[in-house]
Amino acid sequence: MCGIVGYLGPKSVDSVLIVGLTRLEYRGYDSAGIAVLDKNEIVVRKEKGKIKDLEELLLSHPVEGNVGIGHTRWATHGEPNRQNAHPHIDTAGSTAVVHNGIVENHHALRLELIDKGHVFHTETDTEVIPHLFEQYYKELKDAPKALKATVDRLEGRFAFVLLLDKFPDRLFFARNGSPLVYGKGRGESFLASDVSAIVPAAKEHFHIENDQWGWITKDGLHLHNGTSEPLPFELTRTQFDVKTLDRGGYEHFMLKEIHEQPGIIRGIIQNRLNDEGLVTLPEMQLPNDFLNRVTRCIITSAGTSWHAGIVGKFYLEQFARLSTEVDISSEFRYRNPIADGETLVVAISQSGETADTLAGIHQAKAKFCRVLSFVNVTTSSIARESEAFIDLMAGPEIGVASTKAYTAQVMSLLLYAQFMGGIKWLGSKEDRLAILREIRLLPEKMERILARAEELKHWAHELRDSKDFVFLGRQHNHPTALEGALKLKEIAYVHASGYAGGEFKHGPIALISDQIPVVCIAPRGELYEKMISNIEEVRSRKGRILSICTEGDEMVRSKSDFCFEIPECPDYLSPLLAVIPLQLFAYYSALERGCEPDQPRNLAKSVTVE
Residues with catalytic roles: 2, 605
- Find the binding residues for ligand M6R in span 280-339 (CB under 6 A): 302-305
Nearest distance from C-beta of residue 567 to ligand M6R, angstroms: 25
Closest CA to 498 of 316, 306, 265, 349: 306
Which CB, 189 or 329, lies closer to ligand M6R? 329
- CB-CB neighbours of 338 under 10 Å: 10
Q: What is the DSSP letter of 87?
A: P
Closest CA to 273 of 435, 402, 385: 435
Nearest distance from C-beta of residue 371 to ligand M6R, angstroms: 14
- Estimate to the nearest angstrom the gap between the alpha carbon of 540 and the chain centroid: 41
Pairing status of strand 41-48 against strand 212-217: unpaired
- Is residue 213 a contact partner of residue 201, using CB atoms and an 8 Å limit? no
Nearest distance from C-beta of residue 406 to ligand M6R, angstroms: 8
- 332 by DSSP, 3-state: which? helix
Position among 350, 363, 407, 574 found at the interface with ligand M6R (CB under 6 A): 350
Q: Which stretch binds ligand M6R (CB under 6 A): 275-283, 336-344, 347-355, 466-474?
A: 347-355
Which CB, 21 or 377, lies closer to ligand M6R? 377
- Is residue 16 a contact partner of residue 36, using CB atoms and an 8 Å limit? no
Which CB, 176 or 349, lies closer to ligand M6R? 349
Nearest distance from C-beta of residue 399 to ligand M6R, angstroms: 8
- The Cα 354–Cα 352 span in angstroms is 6
Which CB, 66 or 380, lies closer to ligand M6R? 380
Q: Indicate the residue whose CB is closest to ligand M6R.
A: 303
From residue 364 to residue 403, what is the string marking binding to ligand M6R with x (rule CB under 6 A)? ------------------------------------xxx-
Closest CA to 135 of 114, 161, 156: 114
- Find the binding residues for ligand M6R in span 85-114 (CB under 6 A): none
Nearest distance from C-beta of residue 533 to ligand M6R, angstroms: 30
Strand order of the β-sheet with 88-89 is 88-89, 95-103, 156-164, 171-176, 212-217, 220-224
Phi-psi bin for 32: left (phi > 0), alpha (psi -120 to 50), beta? beta
Which CB, 19 or 607, lies closer to ligand M6R? 607
- 407 touches ligand M6R by CB under 6 A: no
Which CB, 212 or 305, lies closer to ligand M6R? 305
- 354 touches ligand M6R by CB under 6 A: yes
- Find the binding residues for ligand M6R in span 18-47 (CB under 6 A): none
- 357 touches ligand M6R by CB under 6 A: yes
Which CB, 198 or 398, lies closer to ligand M6R? 398
- 102 by DSSP, 3-state: which? strand
Give helix 478-492 / helix 574-592 axis angle, nearest 10°: 20
Q: How many residues bind ligand M6R (CB under 6 A)?
A: 16
Position among 277, 607, 608, 609 found at the interface with ligand M6R (CB under 6 A): 607
Q: What are phi and psi of 348, to 5 degrees?
A: -120, 130
Q: Which stretch binds ligand M6R (CB under 6 A): 260-268, 351-359, 528-536, 562-570?
A: 351-359
Nearest distance from C-beta of residue 351 to ligand M6R, angstroms: 3
Q: What are phi and psi of 404, to 5 degrees?
A: -70, -30
Nearest distance from C-beta of residue 402 to ligand M6R, angstroms: 4
- The Cα 29–Cα 258 span in angstroms is 22
Nearest distance from C-beta of residue 368 to ligand M6R, angstroms: 24
Nearest distance from C-beta of residue 305 to ligand M6R, angstroms: 4
- Find the binding residues for ligand M6R in span 158-187 (CB under 6 A): none
What is the H or E stretch that residue 469 is in? strand 468-473
Pairing status of strand 95-103 against strand 88-89: antiparallel
DSSP class per residue in 168-228: TT-EEEEEEBS--EEEE-SS-EEEESSGGGGTTT--EEEEPPTTEEEEEETTEEEEE-SSS
- Find the binding residues for ligand M6R in span 586-605 (CB under 6 A): 603
Position among 490, 537, 565, 598 found at the interface with ligand M6R (CB under 6 A): 490
Which CB, 94 or 100, lies closer to ligand M6R? 100
Which CB, 69 or 375, lies closer to ligand M6R? 375
- CB-CB neighbours of 455 under 10 Å: 17
Positions in the binding site for ligand M6R (CB under 6 A): 302-305, 349-351, 354, 357, 400-402, 490, 603, 606-607
